[in-house]
Amino acid sequence: MWDWPVWGALGVGGIAGTAALALFVTRLRAAWREVRDARRDIVRRLDELARKSEAVADKVAVAGNTAELHESVGRLRVSIARLAVLRSALEDARVVVGPIAVVVGIARK
């Protein structure tokens, strides 16, 4: 007598669960794409900044020989070295996160 409401509720629950899972997967993939694109943008901009910083440091070193200028160039070179360390850490993080993306099943471009 009460079988059809129970089976109906189970069916509605199953459909709702499937829809929720599909929505979760869709949002997870979109979030992963955003993270991946942001990471690529950061790396590209860091590369550009490093390239420009090195060019400026070389030009400044050639331009003058004042003590203040040498001190500024030294600080710039320290900053460039820190940037290289940060870029290396970012690459290490990408290496660690890459296999997780494969396990989750998100294809990379």
Tokens of 100: 């997780």
Secondary structure (3-state) at 64 = coil
Quick check: is 74 in a domain? yes
Element housing 14 (H / E): helix 3-63
Structural domain harbouring 73: 3-104
Quick check: is 109 in a domain? no
Report pLDDT digits (tens) over 63-98. 766 777 778 888 889 998 998 898 888 888 878 777
Report the half-sphere exposure of 109 (CA within 13 A, side-chain side). Answer: 8
Quick check: is 27 in a domain? yes
E-state strands within the chain: none
User: What is the per-residue pLDDT for 67?
Assistant: 77
Q: What total number of domains does the chain contain? A: 1
Quick check: is 75 in a domain? yes
User: What is the per-residue pLDDT for 104?
Assistant: 64
Report pLDDT digits (tens) over 46-65. 888 888 888 888 777 777 66
Residue 101: pLDDT band with limits 50, 70, 90: low
Phi-psi region of 105 (alpha: psi -120 to 50; beta: other; left: phi over 0): left
**Distance of alpha carbon 56 from the chain centroid:** 27
